Amino acid sequence: MPDPMKCAIFDMDGVLVDSHPIHMAAWRRFLEAHGRTVNQRDMEFVLEGRKREEMLEHFLGPVSPEQADSYGKEKDVLFREEAKSISTIAGVREMLDQLSAASVPMAVASCGGRGRVHQLLEQLNLRNYFEAVFTGNDVKDGKPDPSIFLAVAKQMNVLPSQAICFEDSVSGVTAAKSAGMKCLGIAEDGRQDALVQAGCDAVVPNFVSVSVSDLRKLF
């Protein structure tokens, strides 16, 4: 019987890498340097997987492309300073090995900036697992728009219905389901209900207890 799962697509922050605390610390430092005091609700927006330009406009108001590029580089420097001790999400490397052994092609679809995404993949020795890496630089509209997932499916030469996405944010789940893909939510900090309400097919705290056979059951 043919395998119904032809492609596995991973978000970056909170799915492949445990980067949310570092991501938030870098954004907090950046925003405070620009006179913007942030609270916990502001930080929750940072976790929604939006494109950098959207986050900059959310916090600072309209910015030109040149400003966005300059601000982005500034924030990336702060992120690199914070990211020296970053680690992968529990069980993710084992899941990548399982999918590789099962000959399931894999891709990354993150609305993070290209430089930061590739830096983390290289830093954690994850890049070789993925046939394609799409970032916020590669699409006009970020999640919850499904464009990034549809672009991955086209690049990987699969139908959206043959792909499964791994997401940890409501905007990411919404984008995956809008693209017509299966979606496994990754959440262990009280966000499980929100991901279920957004439409994901199942939710787990991490990849420790997940197998390829479990993923196939979602199709």
Residues acting as catalytic residues = 11
* Length of the chain as a residue count: 219
Strand order in the sheet with 163-167: 132-134, 106-109, 7-10, 163-167, 182-186, 202-204
CB 95 within 8 A of CB 126: no
* Cα-based distances in Å from 95 to 3, 4, 150, 203: 17, 18, 23, 15
d(CA 192, CA 204): 8
Q: Roughly what angle, to the nearest 10 degrees, separates helices 65-82 and 52-60?
A: 100
How far apart are the C-alpha atoms of 113 and 170, rounded to whole Å?
19
| Whole-number Å distance between alpha carbons of 93 and 129 | 10
CA 172, CA 72: separation in Å to the nearest integer?
21
- The CA distance from 120 to 127, in Å, is 9
Which phi and psi (to 5°) does residue 196 adopt? -65, -45
